[in-house]
Chains A and B, each alone.
Chain A
Amino acid sequence: MTTTLATYRTPRLGPLGTAAATVIVAAVVLAAIGPALTSADPNASDFAHAYGAPEPGHALGYDGQGRDLLARLLTGARTSLLGPLWVVALSMAVGTVVAIAAAWLGGWLDSVVSAVLEVMFAFPGVLLAMLVAAVFGPGLTSAVLALAVAYVPYIARLVRSAALAERRKPYVQALEVQGAGAVAICVRHLVPNLMPLITAQATLFFGYAMVDLAIVSFFGLGVQPPDADWGVMVASGQSGVLQGYPAESLLAGGSIVLLVVAFNVLGERLSDGRRAPRPGWFPRRGGVS
């Protein structure tokens, strides 16, 4: 039936979506090969060049401690992209498994899972990350784990509702009647068919996770100096902004904004209108969940 097939049609990216995808691919390539593009050491400070203007070999100039900005921006791209990747990968994996189990088994398990998810919705991810940092000490790992936990309910609720709808479809029942086991049906049919939704959601959440991780790092609870990270750079550039050297904060902040917008646009294009509320910091528009 056409209605069934429409759910599976390939989304069109359009010019904006293509631009967003290009930005993301470029950022990933730059993060991968970046440090090879410049000979400067991102962590070598030379106070003689503090806030130094761009010059040959140092295309973007220096930060307040005389470190090469381009090298730090490129190295920072790695942590700034890998952090959200882990957050998204972990929360998607856990959220999907939990959601599918709840949707498939139903009954009391579904009720318990839904209740737990509702409780988890009450915790903003960034606050949880800060709490974890306060208890276990600051660092990228604890920030990533805390955010991953905080993101689980958002993906789980979405996947659960989609899986419930999918589970009632005749083809799933037909598989049951053929004697296929629950795990086989879930792994081979349910999850692959939900993948478009999950992927689109993961793309959107990647952007959110990037902002949240930057916030945590900005407060000094995520990536620790001297390691380069865009959130850390926005924070360490603050004093420069006051002294009339906004380059560090602007470059790092601009990179974050550019990528988050790119992920958002791409995620929207992929999700085709089906999206979960934004996880995170302030109560979401549309009120309580």
Chain B
Amino acid sequence: MTGVLDLNGLTVRLPGPDRPVLDDVSLSIAEGEALGLVGESGSGKSMTVRAIVRLLPAGAQVEGVVRVGGVEVGSLRGAALRELRAVVPVVFQDPRAHINPVRTIGDFLTEGLRTHRRLSRRSAEDRAVRLLDEVGVADGQRRLRQYPHELSGGLLQRVMIAAALLAEPRLLLADEPTTALDVTTQAEVMAAVDELRRERGLAMLFITHDLELAAAVCDRTAVMYAGRVMEVRASASLHEHPLHPYTAALAAARPSLERRADRLATIPGRPLSAFEAPDGCAFADRCAHIRERCREERPALRPLGDGQVACVRAEGLQVVFRD
């Protein structure tokens, strides 16, 4: 199966004494599909994106295979790597930090078109204005003359999204694109992304720590914990009927509008980084349903129901979580 993006056994180790940050991550995204990637801080979500576009810290060791549109990324060098990056845009969390503060929005949006595509300034600007309009930024001509500090966070993130779409990508990597925005802006920006994505049949890897948001905009959701994928399935069913104890615990820990609660449920312990993870299941120490087997062998990600799960007790627990 060759999708827009295939990760197979991706393991990333940072320099230092055996510090994996990603541990055997396998995911794939089909043409036009949106995959949500959720997890706590430090679970390896952003590292996954960085590994895809090969923006890892110096000295990082990568094992496993990353394919974008069937092309293996790991072996690309120089111009070929730049070519790949140009068509796999990344939208980052903090737009303000990811744009050169001393260049205008126009410079930012047209630079790629003018250097990679050799468009004239005129036609590059025309395209930029059209795209700005599509992502909901009115008065594009004026915006092109403005500097990043003159735009609000929401507007700037829309500009970043427009910049991402300029390359007419097949795949968009979004690394918590709305986390730095306030809630109303968040909703607007997400709506814009969702609409544009559907119009263009664009595949997306959407990173967030917001389960609901992932469920709302993504076809499937993958849950990561300590650098490993715990569960992947259709967003709706993951939300309603989680199979992995971690996903279930996450879902239970969310506040709900329908239900009154004095205290929110929490997961005991603290989130682990990948390099602290025990030999068996990474979640073993915090899991309410632990068995001896969980500490001894590492559960593989295996198909179950409409998705995949990495828990040896998933079938048995299904009934427990339904209640």
Contact = CB atoms under 8 A, between A and B. Distances in A.
Interface string A188-232: 110011000000000000000000000000000000000000000
A189 B85 contact: no
A156 to B, nearest CB: 22
Interface in B33-63: 53, 55, 58
Given A174-B90, A177-B85, A4 B112 contact: no
Nearest to A174: B98
A193 B100 contact: yes
Interface string A153-179: 000000000000000011101111111
A37 interface: no
Contacts of A193: 100, 102
Interface residues of B, number: 29
Contacts of A5: 101, 149
A29 interface: no
B118 to A, nearest CB: 13
Nearest to B115: A184
Given A5-B149, A174-B92, A189-B103, A180 B98 contact: no
Interface in B95-121: 96-103, 111-112, 115-116
B53 A177 contact: yes
A47 interface: no
B86 interface: yes
Of the four ranges (under 10, 10 to 19, 20 to 34, 35 or more), the interface on chain A belongs to: 20 to 34
A281 interface: no
A1 B103 CA distance: 15
A286 interface: no
B97 A1 contact: yes
B163 interface: yes
Contact of B90 (A8, A177, A189, A192): A177
15 contacts: A169-B97, A170-B92, A170-B97, A171-B100, A174-B90, A174-B99, A175-B100, A177-B55, A179-B85, A179-B86, A179-B112, A180-B82, A180-B111, A184-B115, A189-B100
Interface of B: 53, 55, 58, 79, 82-87, 89-90, 92, 94, 96-103, 111-112, 115-116, 149, 163, 167
